[in-house]
Amino acid sequence: MTRDHYLHVLHYLHFTDNDKEVDKKDNHYDGLWKFREVFDILSVAYSKFYIPSECMVIDEVIVLFKGKVGFKQYIPKNHKHFGIKIYKLCDIYGYT
């Protein structure tokens, strides 16, 4: 797929109606409101089929990200100075 075709598809790919946007100043503001319905559907589907093992580890990962989000962090000692901190629950079978 060419870059222009990908950007064209991405421009028209929506998961929710933009008219339902909630106010950012609201105490119950959901930063993932555009993707929340798909996220909930995937969470239910994954919980049906995934059975965790006894050996699990919590891992902290910084994902390099230079875009604009409210939860980006600056960590001067890390080689990836700006990024999104993600906590992963890792399974011995490779699931994250």
* DSSP helix, strand, coil percent of the chain (3-state; round to 5): 30, 20, 50
Beta strands at 82-91 and 56-64: parallel, antiparallel or unpaired: antiparallel
Determine the distance from the C-alpha atom of residue 71 to the mean position of all C-alpha atoms in its chain, rounded to a whole number: 11
Report d(CA 47, CA 27) in Å as an integer.
29
Tokens of 71: 């939860």
Supply φ then ψ for residue 70, to 5 degrees: -80, -15
pLDDT band at 79 (very low <50, low <70, confident <90, very high): confident
pLDDT digits (tens, 9 = 90+) for 35-74: 888 999 999 998 898 888 888 899 888 888 777 777 777 7
Average pLDDT, the chain: 83
